[in-house]
Amino acid sequence: MQNRLLVFFFFFWVSCAGYAQQNADAIRYVLLNPSGGVLVAAHRAEHHRYPENSLKAIQAAIDLGVDIVEVDVKVSKDGVPFLMHDKSVDRTTSGKGDPEAMTWAELQQLFLVDKGKRTSLKIPSLEEALTVASGKILVDLDLKTDRIDNILRIIRKTETKDIVFFFDSDYTVLSAIRAADTNFMIMPRAYRYTQADSAIALFDPPVVHIDDSFYTPECIQLIKSSYARAWINALGEPDEAIRNGKEKHALKKLLKYGASIIQTDEPQKVIQALKEGGWR
Instruction: Quick: pLDDT tens for 154-173.
Output: 999 999 999 999 999 999 99
Distance CA 151, CA 181 (A): 13
The arithmetic mean of pLDDT across residues 52-63, rounded, is 98
Residue 22 has pLDDT above 80, yes or no: no
Q: What is the Cα 168 distance to its own chain's centre?
A: 11
Tell me what pLDDT residue 236 has.
96
* 210: pLDDT strictly greater than 60: yes
Can you tell me the mean pLDDT for 17-27?
62
260 DSSP assignment: -
| CATH number assigned to the domain covering 2-277 | 3.20.20.190
- Residues whose CB is less than 8 angstroms from the CB of residue 244 and which lie 6 or more positions away in sequence, other chains included: none
- Over residues 185-201, mean pLDDT: 97
Split at pLDDT 50, 70, 90, the class of 280 is confident
Q: Would you give the distance in Å from CA 91 to the centre of its chain?
A: 22
Section 8-22 average pLDDT: 41
Q: Is the pLDDT of residue 35 over 90?
A: no
Average pLDDT, the chain: 93
Residue 177, pLDDT > 60, answer yes
* Residue 205: pLDDT over 90: yes
